[in-house]
Amino acid sequence: MPAPLISVILPVYNQEPYLAQTIESILAQSYPNFELLLHDDGSTDGSAHLIRHYAALDPRIHASFAPNAGKCATTNLLVSQARGYWCAFLDADDVMLPERLARQVVYHQTQLNVDATSCHCHYIDELGQYLGTQRYPGLRTVQEGRQAMANGQLVHCAFTGLMVSRHAFMESGGLRNQFWPCEDLEFCNRLLEQGFSLVIIQEVLVLYRIHAASVTMRKPLHVFDMAEYSTRCLALRRAGEAELTVDEFMAERQRSPWWVKVNRQRYGYSVIFYRQANFYLHKKDYLHFGWLLTKALLLSPAYGLATVRKRLAQHFSSSTPLSPSSGIPTN
């Protein structure tokens, strides 16, 4: 079977510190038949300069530049310009492991009924140090996705590891800006709702970077709000009802009793502190780990105790260190 052309979709906005490593991880793929569609979305740092530099070095890179329009609009634009049958997505601060494209292409060539695949991810920090592994539950088979939709369940996958047919992406409507920064959650569920299939390959193929400038770190409570908004709209849609606008959803939340608002923030901060504690655990910074874990447990004992034993067991039994220079697991 001939090797299909893969269109790698890379929208960029102010990712100068990480962009070179991201681009080089794509160019170093063992699978050679790809085009890299790079679009600078009005960056105010040196991202555009880096894009021009790499575009001059490799003819597989197709670069474009425009004022800021947001990740959703930029991604949709790049997919509309793609020449490949398959589109592979990556965030501009993340890293592809060398076999990522090859593994996904082989899977799709042997599973012709699958419209999209994703994968698991290693978390890394600004320096490429290992912070843990994100394994997404479910979606191991097409049938699991169908069953999740039949049961009204919410599914999750790594958008930065997604490979989807251009047809499925366009037919499903692409990314919707109203759900940013949780547009990936809404999209992967909508993909399945519309009858397309999504499978998570049970391998780590991408390094997902956690850093202070990312929206999940800068505005974690806003991310929680938008995740709840996305979930609410999905539930309404599946019930045959009209979606709420963001303003309608936030106004509804503002009408909640004060104790509901306080409880929502309490739980949100517990999740944030626990997540940060887990990263410090993998760095072996046990002082910060203990302090953050204590705060998380004080705010929400039930949440912390439900997960801390599992995480500690995973860490001490199967910790996977990464090379600081490459961010790639070492044996």
Assign 324 a pLDDT band (cuts: 50, 70, 90): very low
pTM for the complete prediction? 0.89
Question: 98-102, 141-145, 280-284 — which is least confidently predicted?
Answer: 280-284
Displacement of CA 147 from its chain's centroid (Å): 23
Q: Report the number of secondary-structure helices (H) and strands (E) in the chain.
A: 13, 9
Checking phi first, is residue 35 left (phi over 0); if not, alpha (psi -120 to 50) or beta?
beta
State pLDDT tens for residues 42-73.
Answer: 999 999 999 999 999 999 999 999 999 999 99
> So where are the chain's domains?
6-216, 217-318
Secondary structure of 249-300 in HEC code, one letter for each residue = HHHHHHCCCHHHHHHHHHHHHHHHHHHHHHHHHHCCCHHHHHHHHHHHHHHC
Assign 281 a pLDDT band (cuts: 50, 70, 90): confident
Query: 220-238 and 183-193 helices cross at what angle (nearest 10)?
Result: 20
Question: 83-87, 93-97, 214-218, 276-280 — which is least confidently predicted?
Answer: 214-218
- Percent of the chain whose predicted confidence (pLDDT) is above 90: 77
pLDDT value of residue 217:
78
State pLDDT tens for residues 231-274.
Answer: 999 999 999 999 999 999 999 999 999 899 899 899 888 888 88
Q: Give the pairing of strands 163-165 and 116-124.
A: antiparallel
pLDDT value of residue 315:
55
**Residue among 5, 62, 69, 71 nearest 38 (CA):** 62
pLDDT value of residue 330:
32
State how far the Cα of 275 lies from the Cα of 266, in Å rounded to an integer.
14
Q: Give the pairing of strands 86-89 and 116-124.
A: unpaired
Residue 325 has pLDDT above 70, yes or no: no
Residues 99-125, mean pLDDT to the nearest whole number: 97
If you search the block for the tokens 């790698």, which residue do you land on? 8
Question: 156-160, 250-254, 287-291, 309-313 — which is least confidently predicted?
Answer: 309-313
Residue 328 has pLDDT above 50, yes or no: no
- The dotted CATH code for 6-216 is 3.90.550.10
CA torsion sign, 158 to 7 to 181 to 244? negative
Residue 186 has pLDDT above 50, yes or no: yes
First-to-last C-alpha distance (Å) of the chain: 33
Average pLDDT for the chain = 91
